[in-house]
């Protein structure tokens, strides 16, 4: 009987060998994009004949030797990675057919990340589709570029696409005079958000950016990027060429994706013992926590006291019910309560309206919470935190009682320690 490793996705892309993208063959462009985005692998097969959408038969016969032949690109990968990369690939194929199907993976000799870490370069993991502002971009436009995105920092480039600065959440608050962080602005309705940022219309990106940001090159090893992020407490680094022109961005999520992306493994019959690279070894055992019946004022006190702006919601027995963030609080409140709550979230001393203050943690939390147990490997926690786009995961015992939390910084530090041990 074949030992099934897990479920995967098979993507097949049917194109023509004459198809081009950005002045080069489309199939090569697709392979390059898959490689740049960290795909497991793909194969291109050239057909001897084919019938496409235009009802024309293309064959490899002598008469039709100059006729372009059909190509099939087969890409097999983990479901999470396919979901992330497939929209990019679809945008590259103006004419053709793309299919996706579930498959069982019988065997996959996936890379062992600790062994290969020194050979991985920033350019192999960086995000190449980068959103950037220009020095003269008005601040409201900068905000719009960040609203609803997974990132909270924006590189600033000059007319020659050279990186001259970076704009972070802190920059927007301190120098841009925004009333709230991007997460909170995202939770507001568009009309209220427009009012909140309207007064910044005369401010440009160059006035609020942090100049001379930390940069990294695509040929640098990823452990160097991780070390810089940890030592400087940065979440994203612009990737530039020798002339400081923007080529991509590398983030903690990109590094964690390299650590955690792999084919899902079947559940073992017996629980695996806690290992040296398990969540138990890196988790925070004093997590921010509130009871489900905690009123809004208490919830906010706990949420704003943490660097993650989040807290775990538990019941009377300590079982995890959900997670609450500052944006969750704001999103679920009536609009006329929001100004006071925003002030409280931004530590400005505003008083929460009494009616709003009667809300409880249970009413504003996101539930159910995605959790992990303490014996889960670090790589699996990294895969889960990237796939779910969460900043943290509660760690629970068999009864879902809270033991701690693990976040992106914990996982990145663990990867850095593993790399140090590898080099020692």
What are the two backbone dihedrals, phi and then psi, of residue 14, each rounded to the nearest 5 degrees?
A: -100, 110
What are the two backbone dihedrals, phi and then psi, of residue 2, each rounded to the nearest 5 degrees?
A: -75, 135
Q: What is the pLDDT of residue 249?
A: 93
| CATH architecture classification, 279-423 | Roll (3.10)
Q: What is the pLDDT of residue 28?
A: 92
CA distance 360 to 39: 43
Q: What is the pLDDT of residue 58?
A: 56
Largest Cα–Cα distance of the chain, in whole Å? Answer: 83
CA distance 340 to 351: 6
Q: What is the pLDDT of residue 424?
A: 46
Q: Spell out, as residue ranges, where the chain has pLDDT lower than 70.
A: 1-6, 38, 50-67, 80, 107-119, 258-276, 304-305, 330-357, 415-424
Q: What is the pLDDT of residue 333?
A: 57
What CATH number labels 6-109?
3.30.70.120
Q: What is the pLDDT of residue 85?
A: 85
Give the Cβ contact number of residue 316 at 10 Å: 8
Q: Which residues contact 91 (CB under 8 A, 6 or more apart)?
A: none
Q: What is the pLDDT of residue 136?
A: 93
CA distance 187 to 35: 35
CA distance 172 to 174: 6
Q: What is the pLDDT of residue 154?
A: 92
Q: Give residue-wise pLDDT tens across range 104-159.
A: 877 665 444 443 344 578 998 888 888 899 999 999 999 889 887 777 889 999 99
Give the Cβ contact number of residue 407 at 10 Å: 22
Q: What is the pLDDT of residue 209?
A: 94
Q: What is the pLDDT of residue 192?
A: 76
- Nearest CA to 412 out of 387, 378, 376 is that of 378
- Tokens 């008469």 -> residue: 63
Q: Does domain 124-251 have CATH number 2.40.50.140?
A: no
* Range(s) of the chain covered by CATH 3.10.580.10: 124-251, 279-423
Q: What is the pLDDT of residue 323?
A: 93
Q: What is the pLDDT of residue 109?
A: 53
* Range(s) of the chain covered by CATH 3.30.70.120: 6-109
Q: What is the pLDDT of residue 260?
A: 58
Q: What is the pLDDT of residue 348?
A: 47
Q: What is the pLDDT of residue 420?
A: 53
DSSP annotation string for 335-376: GGGHHHHHHHHTTS-PPPPHHHHT-BHHHHSBSSPP-EETTS
Q: What is the pLDDT of residue 393?
A: 93
Q: What is the pLDDT of residue 214?
A: 94
Token digits of residue 337: 């309560």
């Amino acid at each position: 009987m074949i030992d099934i490793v897990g479920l995967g996705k098979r993507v097949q892309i049917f194109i023509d060998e004459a198809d081009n993208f950005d002045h080069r063959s489309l199939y090569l462009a697709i392979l390059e994009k898959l490689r740049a985005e960290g795909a497991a692998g793909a194969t291109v097969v050239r057909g001897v004949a084919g019938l496409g959408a235009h009802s024309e038969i293309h064959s490899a016969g002598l008469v039709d030797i100059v006729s372009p032949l059909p190509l099939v690109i087969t890409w097999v990968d983990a479901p999470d990675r396919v979901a992330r990369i497939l929209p990019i690939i679809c945008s590259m194929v103006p004419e053709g057919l793309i299919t996706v199907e579930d498959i069982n993976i019988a065997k996959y000799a996936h890379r062992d990340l600790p062994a290969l870490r020194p050979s991985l370069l920033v350019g192999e993991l960086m995000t190449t589709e980068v959103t950037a502002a220009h020095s003269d971009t008005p601040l409201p436009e900068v905000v719009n570029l960040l609203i609803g995105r997974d990132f909270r920092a924006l590189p600033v480039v000059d007319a020659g696409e050279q990186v001259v600065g970076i704009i972070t959440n802190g920059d927007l608050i301190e120098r841009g005079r925004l009333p709230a962080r991007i997460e909170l602005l995202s939770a507001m309705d568009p009309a209220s958000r427009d009012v909140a940022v309207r007064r910044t219309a005369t401010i440009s990106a160059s006035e609020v950016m942090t100049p001379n940001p930390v940069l990294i090159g695509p040929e640098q090893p990823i452990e160097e990027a991780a070390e810089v992020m940890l030592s400087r407490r940065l979440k994203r680094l612009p990737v530039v060429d020798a002339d400081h022109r923007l080529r991509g961005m590398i983030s903690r999520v990109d590094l964690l994706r390299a650590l955690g992306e792999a084919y899902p493994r079947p559940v073992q019959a017996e629980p695996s013992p806690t290992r040296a690279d398990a969540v138990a070894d890196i988790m925070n055992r004093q997590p921010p926590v509130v009871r489900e019946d905690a009123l809004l004022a208490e919830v906010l006190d706990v949420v704003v006291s943490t660097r993650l702006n989040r807290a775990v919601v538990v019941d009377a027995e300590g079982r995890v019910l959900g997670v609450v963030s500052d944006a969750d609080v704001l999103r679920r409140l009536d609009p006329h309560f929001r100004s006071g709550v925003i002030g409280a979230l931004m530590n400005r001393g505003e008083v929460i309206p009494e009616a709003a203050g009667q809300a409880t943690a249970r009413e504003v939390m996101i539930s159910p919470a995605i959790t992990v147990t303490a014996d889960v490997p670090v790589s699996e926690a990294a895969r889960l935190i990237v796939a779910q786009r969460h900043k943290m995961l509660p760690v629970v015992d068999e009864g879902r009682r809270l033991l701690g939390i693990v976040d992106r910084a914990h996982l990145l530090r663990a990867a850095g320690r593993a790399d140090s041990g590898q080099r020692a």
